[in-house]
Amino acid sequence: MQRIAVTSQNFRTVTGHAGKTRRFIVYGEQDGAPVELERLDLPMEQSFHELRGAPHPLDGSSVLITSGCSENFVHNIAKRGIRVCMVDAETTPLAAASAWLAGSLQALPVPAGLSQEDDHHHHDHHQHRHQHRHGQGHGHGPHHEHHDDHPCCGHGHDEQADA
């Protein structure tokens, strides 16, 4: 059975900062539709950012859907066999899981050449991704990159034009 994990700090919408997220909704699949299996409310020590390679309750998931994460996160979670997808922050977890099962979401490519240590010790050199609907969020369109000193989320900013 496919396990679909969705970052949701409020259990109502897909939230970002996947590495620090502690709340997830996990879905399975029944007759092509998502079925909620469990809601996880983990202690801080079990966030991916703190875990550093130890077993995690989401191990065995096929995909993790979020509205924001670093490239290092994508790289490190790929080592666990989990793909990452991005959706708008306003998306409900159920809609995100449904979109994955319908094939309308694509997993992010796994960046090459990053190490697990980069994610924990060299924060000023990583790229940070998260999405907003047009006209919301930071005012840069739906796709943009971040660095660590940005005032909205603790990450700096390196705008890239939308293609």
Where does the pLDDT of residue 143 fall: very low under 50, low under 70, confident under 90, or very high at 90 and above?
Answer: very low
Other Cβ atoms within 10 Å of 103 Cβ, number: 7
22-62 per-position pLDDT tens digit:
999 999 999 999 999 999 999 999 999 898 778 999 999 99
Topology classification of domain 4-102: Nucleotidyltransferase; domain 5 (3.30.420)
pLDDT score at 158: 35
Where does the pLDDT of residue 146 fall: very low under 50, low under 70, confident under 90, or very high at 90 and above?
Answer: very low
66-89 per-position pLDDT tens digit:
999 999 999 999 999 999 999 998
Q: Give yes or no for residue 123 having a pLDDT over 50.
A: no
The pLDDT mean for the chain works out to: 77
- Which DSSP string corresponds to the chain? ---EEEE-TTSSS--S-TTT--EEEEEEEETTEEEEEEEEE--GGGSHHHHTTS--TTTT-SEEEESEEEHHHHHHHHTTT-EEEE--TTS-HHHHHHHHHHT---PPPPPSS--HHHHHH-GGG--EEEE--TTSTTSS-SEEEE-TT-TTTT--EE-----
Q: Give yes or no for residue 161 having a pLDDT over 70.
A: no
Using a pLDDT cut of 70, give the percent of the chain over it. Answer: 69
SS (H, E, C) 106-130: CCCCCCCCCCHHHHHHCHHHCCEEE
Which own/partner contact pairs does 33-42 have at CB distance under 8 Å and 24+ positions apart? 33/98, 33/101, 34/4, 34/94, 34/97, 34/98, 34/100, 34/101, 36/94, 37/3, 39/11
- Check: CB of residue 43 under 8 Å from CB of residue 27: no
pLDDT score at 136: 41
What does pTM read for this prediction? 0.71
2: left (phi over 0), alpha (psi -120 to 50) or beta: beta
Where does the pLDDT of residue 162 fall: very low under 50, low under 70, confident under 90, or very high at 90 and above?
Answer: very low
Q: Give yes or no for residue 134 having a pLDDT over 80.
A: no
pLDDT score at 114: 55
